[in-house]
Structure 1
Amino acid sequence: MPLILILLLIGIAVGALTGITGSSGVLIVVPALSIMGLSFQDSVGTSLLVDVITTSTVIYVYLKNKNIDIIPAVIMGIGALVGTQIGIRIAISVSERPLEIAFAILTIILAIQMFRRSRGHKTSINGKKEYRRAAWVFAFLLSIPVGILTGTLGTSGGIMFIGILMLFFSLSAQKMVGTATFAMLFSALSGSAGYLIVGRISILDAVVIGIISLISGYLFSTTANRIKERIVYEAIGSIFVIVVIVEGMKIMGFI
């Protein structure tokens, strides 16, 4: 299959994933680029730049539909921004193997979370108004480790931001996706800037994938309201399982 066609398919998949669920495209981009020959660190940096491009159009759609809560999004974004710079320093100082193993473990966790959400298992500790400031503080603190994961594994934290929002804020599903995507922009910007400085981004791959995901993200985010959440989460969970299998085969040397 021609390289350009592979990059186009990756872009479509990333746009669909981010547009519908607010998730980072890392679980698609990193394994695909790694198999194509990029180092794990270069794949992570490229994935983060793709996230920056993709989230811009998705954020526009959710803002237009008033499905973003700005304050928690900014608070989580700032926390993740701090953590991302810590994570980058960890990523460039260790070998690829432990990062790949950690990536596979993270993917398994997210796959389980997707299937649980498809069955309606949602934890919610929504504080009263008098606890709102405390919720902001906890959201900030929990976003720092999300940022560290961004810097080390390339996940911009969309799903994890949704988890934080579920825990501390009473938001609709669509508003959680929009808010998480907005917060994800902070971590993706911080992470891609850090990787760009150390020369660990494939600009051409990021631009090609990003342009397609920009279009795909817009289309999928505008139609997200018509798709049943259960079907979406089960499909994405299945994709994550496939990613785990592929990444596991790569770690064991079969790919």
Structure 2
Amino acid sequence: MVPLYVLIVIGVAVGALTGITGSSGVLIVVPALSYLGLSFKEAVGSSLLVDVITTLSVIFVYFKHENVDVKLSTLLGAGALVGAQLGSEIAFAVPERALEGAFIAFTSVMAYVSFRRSRNPRLNLNKLNLGRLAYAVAPLLAVMVGMVTGTLGASGGIMFIAVMMLLFSIDVKKMIGTATLAMLFSALSGTVAYALSGRVDLYASAVIGIVAIVSGYYFAKFANRAKPSLIYAFLGSVFVLTSISELVKVI
């Protein structure tokens, strides 16, 4: 059994990550639990349950600051629900080494994107001017986000943000709040799939999640007052560290 104090430290870190950036705790939970002896697929399933628990307090803070678009969150979450089930089926059939390689590639690309945004948070990435049609396209793209949820355990926070950057002109803090609520839907769907296959460590997930609820609440309050450039720089640093740690493990 993993020592309690280790799970508490992981929980604090997950709360900080989700509270500040709205991204999935997968970046911390999967590498940490893999190092501590869980299989990659068990770590992914546990990470998804942690996301379900953690997002509750984070969403509360963003709602309090009116930084959540409920309509858009629902559309993104609905698409991700479908995609997560498809992705979990793919994950169960793919060798773990291939999944780990995909995980490293994903975190490396997102590190580049985050640091680029940290240098110019106001950079206009809204390339598609679809008007109201954007609300129809968003859930279709969310299906692909959900597939990543099912395969890599990333509940899609940062990917939901990427979809919103592409289709809508929204403030970064509202994007984070909206992405966090959408992430709850995708994480819940993925958790069910992994739990039914017995690939969730309930003890580790519960401890990490409960601690992350508390830390996530306070870090979310901090994020709602922080500069966007700081948020992006923090996220980029986490992506880099995660990529390196998982690469070392694979090698």
Q: TM-score, normalised by structure 1?
A: 0.94
Question: Is the 1:126–1:166 Cα contact (8 Å) retained in structure 2?
Answer: no
How far did 1:114 drift?
Answer: 1.0
Inter-partner Cα distance in structure 2 for 1:126 and 1:177: 20
- When residues 225 and 64 of structure 1 are mapped into structure 2, their CA distance, relative to the original with a 3 A threshold, is closer
Describe how 1:64-83 pairs up with structure 2 within 5 A: 64-83=64-83
What is the letter of the counterpart of residue 102 of structure 1? A
Question: Is the 2:21–2:235 Cα contact (8 Å) retained in structure 1?
Answer: no
Match of 2:196 in 1: 197
Inter-partner Cα distance in structure 2 for 1:119 and 1:164: 20
What is the letter of the counterpart of residue 222 of structure 2? T
What is the letter of the counterpart of residue 216 of structure 1? S
How far did 1:126 drift?
Answer: 6.6
Matched residue count: 248
Match of 2:45 in 1: 45
Match of 2:30 in 1: 30
RMSD after superposition? 1.3
Match of 1:153 in 2: 152
What is the letter of the counterpart of residue 95 of structure 1? P
Match of 1:216 in 2: 215
Describe how 1:1-255 pairs up with structure 2 within 5 A: 3-120=3-120, 121-125=123-127, 127=129, 131-132=131-132, 134-252=133-251
Inter-partner Cα distance in structure 2 for 1:221 and 1:239: 16
- When residues 170 and 236 of structure 1 are mapped into structure 2, their CA distance, relative to the original with a 3 A threshold, is closer
After superposition, what is the alpha-carbon deviation per residue over 1:120-143, rounded to whole angstroms, capped at 9, x for unaligned? 144124747xx21x1011111111
What is the letter of the counterpart of residue 224 of structure 2? N
Moved more, 232-241 or 216-225: 232-241
What is the letter of the counterpart of residue 7 of structure 2? L
What is the letter of the counterpart of residue 205 of structure 2? A
Question: Is the 1:126–1:170 Cα contact (8 Å) retained in structure 2?
Answer: no
Q: TM-score, normalised by structure 2?
A: 0.95
Identity %: 53
